[in-house]
Structure formats: C-alpha cells, structure tokens
Amino acid sequence: MTTRTLQPTPTQQSLTTTTGTPSPTLTSTPAPTAAPGPHTPLALADDLLARLRTTTTEPRPDEQLAALTLAVAADLPVLLWGEPGIGKTAALTQLAASLDLPLTTVIASVHEPSDFSGLPIVGDDPAAQGVPMAPPQWAVELVRAGRGLLFLDELSTATPAVQAALLRVVLERKVGALQLPAGVRIVAAANPRASAADGWELSPPLANRFVHLYWAHDREVVVRGLGGVWPRAELPALVPERLPEAVAFARRAVCGFLEARPTLIHRLPTTETRRGGAWPSPRSWEAALTLLAFGTAAAVSREVLALVVRGAVGDGPGLELLAHLDRMDLPDPESLLADPAAAELPARGDLRQAALEAVVAAVGARPERERWEAGWAVLVRALETGPPDLLVAPATVLAGLRRDDWEVPETMERLAGVVDLARRADRSVARAAAAGAGRTPGECR
C-alpha cells in the first residue's frame, strides 16, 4: 500500500490520500488570526459609526421635553404615547444621559406577570417564614444602584395579566418583595392601538396611574438633531423662595376648582379607548396638584403646564382647571374700585376684559353713586394702559346703571368719544366683511 501526503500551506486544507481508500479525508487547519489593525475594514466601519453617533446638546425651548422633565422631577410615572419611530426611546435615552441616571429598559410585552410580581421561592420552613416573591435581576440592579430611570417600553402590547402585575410597580414601586429606592423614576412608552403590534387597550387602573404625554416630532428639532445637536433635557429650576407659595397656590387652585365642579372629582370614561388614557379621579387630581406646585415653583410656561395638567386628568377637566387658574389671577374688583388710579389690570386681552366686566358686575350688585364713578375711573385707567376696543362692552353696561339723579362725571365724557369711535370702527369692519362676502370672484368695487 502506497501513501502520499500533501503538505498544506497554512491557509489551505490538508488532504491525505491512501491508496485503496474509497474517499479522501479532509481536515481543516485554522489560519492564524492577526489583531485588527487601525485601518482594517471593520475598524474603519466602527470608527464611522462612532462619528455618526457622536452628538451634542444645546439649551433649546422644547415644550414636550420640558413637560417630561417636570413630571420626572415630580416623581410621577409618565407614559409617552406616539407612533412607532417618532423618537420616544431616543428621548428617554437622551434624558437618562442628561440627568446622569442609569437607564434600565424593560420590554413589558415580552415578560410574564411573575417578572413584575416576583417568583415564589420556597424556603426551609414556608409555614413559619412564608413564601417570598423573588424579584427579577433588573430590579435587584436598580436597588443596588440606588437610583436610575426605569423605562417600561411597549406597554400597549402587554397582555392584561402583565398590566395587572405592573400596578404595584408603577404606583408602589414594589417588584415582588423588593422596594425600589426613591431615586428611581418610571417612564413608559406605548403606541396607539391602531399602530401597535397586537396591541391592547390599557386597563383603567393602570392608565390612571400615569401622566399621559402625547409625543410628536418637531421638524426643527429633528433636522437639527440629525445634524448632530439635540435639545438638552434639564430638570426644572425650582426657586427655593417659591416653594411654600407654590404649594399653597396649588392646593387652593385644585380644591377651589373641585368645590365648584364636584362632578369632576371622579369620572370614569364610557369608552374603552378613553379609559386607557387620562381621566379624573382623586389619584389623578393629586398628581395634577403636584404638577401644578412644581410648575409654579419652576415658573414654567403656560403651554408646559397645560400639557402636564391635561396629561394627568384629561383634556376637558384639565382645560377647565386652567381656566379656573386664569380667574384666580384676576384682580379683586372691590380692590380696583377702592383705588382706581393705582389699578393693575392684566395685560392679556381676555383676562383684561374679564377684569373690567367683573368691576361693572360689582357696581351692578351694589349700585351707589361713588362706586359708579369709581367704575368709570377704572375704565379710564384701562384706557391709559391698554387698547380702547376692550372698553366698549363694559362702558355700555356701566352707562346703563346710571340713576336719573346722578350727574355725568368727567371720566364718562372722556370715554364717550373713544367708545363711539370704537363702535364706528366695528360697524365699518362689519360692513366691509358683509360687502366682501357678497362679491363674486374677480369682481372689483
């Protein structure tokens, strides 16, 4: 028998052929691997990816980001609603980086209820010691860190059983027998049912535990962010001197509103879809009160305050509360009548007119000559500090309150020309609008 052996090169296979053997035997000889150099294709690809992922941030007004950071500062669970790919996850990642918080992402839809309620572990003597519920690894790591941002993603695709298990996690911050530390904030994200993969409506008990924010893309933010600069997520700057006043204002506002609108204390929506969003309950009113106090202490904009209040108790009750806040800001009509020369009227047109109408109503409730003349003095003050067109309605009503034995004050004569001019201007605008509505296309008059 003759045997021939071919000596392979390091990068070739060794082939051994034996005379009389039906088929050859192939053995693989691994080639020595060299450490990737600085200019290997994979290293260059990694370098390019690193450059693409390197971005910076800048302070930039962003209402929805400000609303998110306000709710996070208030330690309230937040639920971001938005279409797939809108940037919810990216916003949370950037938020965690900006706040220097470890980010723990848990995809709710791929977990079992026991991953949130805990797994029962039988000990040596369960009759005496009970059966503890062991928490999952992510919860243990959060407790070990003592702080962090827990991101519950894909909440709308979690089954009802998983949603039920999440109730204690969201409200009580308990996972099994483990209590999450106070330094952990909870933010969730969900897609609307129409765009979610096998989505479920949120159960009313779980939905009522969140502040709901509806995430939408802003063209300028997206374009500038893709250019490498994203808005910076910063916690609201609370002013220490404002804290006691902010708490008192929030309590007075919410309690005063609910006294006037008791039917809104608890109103469970009638449709399944609306039950999965924000709706009023004692729990959500407490959240609205907290957000109102934080927003007042941080002096956030009206738009940001509207987002978080409506996200807590729903659109209708939230808008009514905001209107109640406007009425609270109105000056006392009796104070204006007592010192018209020093009257401070709101700058916003609707609030200014409401204040003037309140003055006229106060005079009408107790019509006396001195109060009637003081009312005209308030209108003159309004003329000196604002537009005259807001005076037409209150001046007309105030003039109708005159008694026959009351002399016409100089202030009334001073306003007569302005009111008459404003009326003529209104009539002129009305005639022009009516004439324009009667024209045919292309017709000139």
pLDDT tens for 267-301 read: 999 888 899 999 999 999 999 999 999 999 999 99
Q: Where are the domains of the chain?
A: 56-119+132-231, 240-328, 333-433
Q: What span, in angstroms and rounded, lies between the C-alpha atoms of 396 and 356? A: 12
Provide the pLDDT for residue 90: 84
Distance between the two ends of the chain, CA-based, in angstroms?
118
Q: Which tens digit of pLDDT belongs to each residue from 210-244?
A: 999 999 888 888 898 899 888 888 889 999 999 99
Exposure b/e, 16-26, CB count within 10 A at least 16 = b: eeeeeeeeeee
Mean pLDDT in residue range 325-354:
87
Residue-wise DSSP of 341-381: GG----SSHHHHHHHHHHHHHHHHHS--HHHHHHHHHHHHH
Asked if residues 215 and 87 have their Cβ atoms less than 8 Å apart, the reply is yes
Q: Are 135 and 177 spatial neighbours (Cβ–Cβ below 8 Å)? A: yes
pLDDT 10s digits, 377-434: 998 888 888 888 888 888 888 888 888 888 877 777 777 666 655 455 445 545 555 6
**370 Cβ neighbours under 8 A, 6+ residues apart:** none
Q: Give the DSSP per-residue string, 320-352.
A: HHHHHHHHHTSPPHHHHHH-GGG----SSHHHH
| 361, β-bridge pairs | none
Out of 3.40.50.1360, 3.40.50.1820, 3.40.50.300, 3.30.300.30, select the CATH number for domain 56-119+132-231: 3.40.50.300
- HSE, side-chain direction, 13 A CA sphere, residue 274: 11
**pTM of the predicted structure, to 2 decimals:** 0.73
N residues, the chain: 445
